[in-house]
Amino acid sequence: MEFNVYQLSALTLLIFVATPAIAQEVPMGCYTREYSSDHLAQHPEQVVERMSILFTQAEWGVAADVQVQLADQGHAARDGYGGMRVSELAGNFNEPLNFGVECDGGQFEVLSNDSTGIMIETSQFRLTDDGCGGDGIYSTLGEENSSTTRYKLHKSNDVECRW
Do 94 and 100 form a contact (C-beta atoms < 8 A)? Answer: yes
Q: Which of 142, 128, 160 is nearest to 32 (CA)?
A: 160
Task: Output the pLDDT for position 137.
Answer: 67
Reduced to 3 states, what is the DSSP secondary structure of residue 118?
strand
Per residue in 118-130, is it b (16+ CB within 10 Å) or e — as a string?
bebbbbebbbbee
The one-letter amino acid code at 154 reads H
Domain count, the chain: 1
Q: Residue 4 domain-assigned?
A: no
* Each residue's pLDDT tens digit, 86-131: 888 999 976 889 998 887 778 899 999 999 999 999 887 877 776 6
The CATH number covering residue 123 comes to: 2.40.128
pTM: 0.80
Domain assignment present for residue 8? The answer is no
